[in-house]
Structure 1
């Protein structure tokens, strides 16, 4: 993972450990992400239809120096953004399902005792790992909002350049 957004998300997740180490953090995810996803999809629909036909021809074409068109790059940014949002909801729901107390099953406890495994520690450690990853994806989804915003900014900059070049003619 070479993305600076990913690295920032890891740092923020670690700094916010008090949030994800306590049960109930998933309520924030399920409250925030659906609204963000709706807003994101609406924004992307507007972006795809933005500009006149001549401008659309410009942003949909690739030139020799670029591998992808402007709109393909913006589309990839938004697909990544939405995918992370959906994944964060799924992981939050999964994390919520991992918040349980192990039933008093003597057979399982006997096997774990024989293997010198502290069941309570195992649950706490495994739950902490799942919650860290899940909350981290949520934070990564929020941080990638910056990438989506910058993609929109690049589109607006290109549009301004297009408008200014047409005024000069």
Structure 2
């Protein structure tokens, strides 16, 4: 097998799994109708004084690893539910649904990780591209403030949205906890009859 064939196969696999995630999430429509995205736009607007100045990216770079650690803890809690009967119930996908409740919870966490990763990457790029070019052409110097506002605003929007997805992931765990409580209560009630 040639190197080129392996590279193509590797990228094909990446596109397949990302496409599967994005489809299960709901795609662009789900993003655009998301209340978390709407709040992120609002937060980006009111935080203009913060992100329109250099070094806003330091906050993102320092916070993102902690958020990603939360993700691992949340998934560990989710997967630690030891009741196999409950796991089977939530992993069941009926023919009318695109996914099972189990996969919906996992997608919420994957979505959080994807956007946190994007925010972290944008912050690193913003940090690495911030430098003084003393001999820059005049048009560049005139255009740069507008490019900064666009790029930094977009980067902060991604960070704000990914931060709010922390709530979405948290509430997906809460939803599972409620389901589990109902499952256990029903099981105990059935045993008592």
Shorter-chain TM-score category?
0.7 to 0.9
Paired with 1:168 and 1:62, the residues of 2 have a C-alpha distance of 26
Q: Unmatched 5+ residue regions in structure 2?
A: 1-31
| Structure 2 counterpart of 1:133 | 154
Which of 90, 93, 109 is the aligned partner of 1:59?
A: 90
Distance in 2 (CA, whole Å) between partners of 1:87 and 1:70 is: 26
Shift of 1:65: 5.1
* 2:61 is the counterpart of 1:30: yes
Q: Structure 2-normalised TM-score?
A: 0.77
| SS at structure 2 position matched to 1:72 | helix
In 2, Cα distance between equivalents of 1:143 and 1:28: 15
Q: What's the CA shift for 1:141?
A: 0.7
Q: Counterpart in 1 of 2:134?
A: 103
Work out the CA distance in 2 between the residues paired with 1:51 and 1:65. Answer: 28
Q: TM-score, normalised by structure 1?
A: 0.88
Judging by fraction of residues, say which structure has more helix. Answer: 2
Q: How well do the aligned residues superpose, as a CA RMSD in angstroms? A: 1.5
- 1:15-164 equivalences under 5 Å are 15-64=46-95, 66-105=97-136, 109=137, 117=139, 119-164=140-185
Query: What is the distance in 2 between the residues matched to 1:51 and 1:160?
Result: 13
Q: Which has the larger radius of gyration?
A: 1
